[in-house]
Amino acid sequence: MHPSAAKRRTLDKSLSERPADIREAARDLIKEISDQIDALNASKPNHGERLANHNDFVTFLEMLAAKLGELADALDKLIDAAATKSATEPVFLGKAGEIIRQLQLILREWFQVEENRASLAGFTIRIALIGAGFTFLQACGVEGKIAAVLAGIFSKTSKVAKATKTTRPKKK
């Protein structure tokens, strides 16, 4: 069996067995992304490259939140269809799976761009956002390498942040 077919089966199984868990994890992640955007906007840079990086990152987070909202809505429909034994249940299962695959593609493409990974180092990422993201991925049945991937992403960004961090003289 092709690895992508096995992943799709795992995802479909998770969606059909735990749609409410995945929906709630998606909604929790939306809330954490919203809080992260508020925190970023509270200390928005005024100009230059830092402002452009800020705006790009906020746009990326807004796109993720919107896509997660679509997923939560599709899972609501899936849960309703399953409760009524509706013939449309497989349609909603397919829609939810497609949205998750779109999320995977968005994340993969964003993190493949070196400038995106490097600029991420300039932002303080809330631990709650990381935790909610990890919980969401676990609820979707994407386990195993997730912790390693997250650790790799954030260790790279923290190394870049330390390397680019400027020290300010202490006020007397």
Residue 7 has pLDDT above 90, yes or no: no
Q: Among all chains, which residue has been given the structure tokens 């795992």?
A: 10
Cα–Cα distance measured from residue 169 to residue 90, given in angstroms and rounded to the nearest whole number: 62
Q: Among 4-18, 28-42, 49-63, 87-101, whose mean pLDDT is lowest?
A: 4-18
- Residue 166 inside a domain? The answer is no
- Residue 2 inside a domain? The answer is no
Residue 76 has pLDDT above 50, yes or no: yes
Is 10 within 8 Å of 101 (Cβ atoms)? no
Instruction: For residue 105, give every residue at least 6 positions away whose Cβ sits within 8 Å of its Cβ, in sequence order, or none.
Output: none
- Residue 59 inside a domain? The answer is yes
- Residue 69 inside a domain? The answer is yes
Residue 58's pLDDT band (boundaries 50, 70, 90)? very high
Handedness of CA 142, 147, 150, 153 (dihedral sign): negative
Q: How many domains would you assign to the chain?
A: 1
Render pLDDT for 35-51 as a digit per residue (tens, 0 to 9): 999 999 998 988 888 89
Residue 126 has pLDDT above 50, yes or no: yes
Question: For position 81, what pLDDT does the model report?
Answer: 83
pLDDT: which is higher, 37 or 160: 37
- Residue 40 inside a domain? The answer is yes
Question: For position 35, what pLDDT does the model report?
Answer: 92
**112-146 b/e with 16+ CB inside 10 Å = b?**
eeeebebbbbbbebeeebeebbbbbbbbbbbeeee
> Cβ atoms within 10 A of the Cβ of 38, count?
9
Average pLDDT of the chain is 76
- Residue 3 inside a domain? The answer is no
Domain enclosing residue 94, as ranges: 8-161
Question: For position 69, what pLDDT does the model report?
Answer: 96
Burial of 15 (0-12, 13-18, 19+ CB in 10 A): buried
Residue 102 has pLDDT above 80, yes or no: yes
Residue 168 has pLDDT above 80, yes or no: no
Taking the whole predicted model, whether its pTM rises above 0.85 is answered as no
Residue 65 has pLDDT above 50, yes or no: yes
- Residue 1 inside a domain? The answer is no
> Cβ atoms within 10 A of the Cβ of 105, count?
10
- Residue 167 inside a domain? The answer is no
Q: Among 62-76, 95-109, 112-126, whose mean pLDDT is lowest?
A: 112-126
